[in-house]
Amino acid sequence: MHIRLTLAVLLSLAAFSVAQADVYKWKDAQGRTIISDTPQPGKKAVTTPSAAPDQTGDAQKTLDDQELEFRKRQEEREAAEKKQNEETAAAARKTEACERSRSNLDMLESGTRIMRPNAQGKPEYINDQQRQAEIERVRENMQRNCS
């Protein structure tokens, strides 16, 4: 067990040291791109940091850049949550309107006498023509809200 742990630590350190090595890139006389861990002999080479798995672009970004990205992700998440909440509330309102329309339609189709206030605010019974117009209006609402 102790040997395996020691071996794992040594392998990790070896991989880390290789991952930290610089990579040199240049073009040879035939125009081919050469990528190596040693610089081109006799010339100044362009150094490229190695792309170790744990060293993606985040490790090279400044703290300000990381903070900006964090805030942007946070704002995007908050906007998505707000949109989801609005959609949930709209769906709840639509369901409530559908239930209310169904209840009204049941009452209108039951044939019981219905009273509602007139223009002066006094209650009056609706006639059959008014009932039919109200039934049509409620059915239109149901088509919008119950689909």
Q: Residues 48-82: pLDDT tens digits?
A: 555 444 445 555 678 889 999 999 999 999 999 99
* Alpha-helix residue ranges (DSSP H) falling in the chain: 2-19, 57-60, 63-110, 128-145
| Distance set, CA 99 to CA 19, 104, 108, 141 (Å) | 64, 9, 14, 11
- Give the pLDDT of residue 139: 94
Tell me the domain boundaries of the chain.
89-147
Q: How far apart are CA 138 and CA 118, in angstroms?
A: 19
pTM for this model (two decimals): 0.47
Residues 6+ apart with CB under 8 A from 45: 24, 25, 26, 39
Q: Residues 102-146: pLDDT tens digits?
A: 999 999 999 889 998 989 999 999 999 999 999 999 999 999 888
- Please check whether residue 17 is in contact with residue 31, taking contact to mean a CB–CB distance below 8 angstroms: no
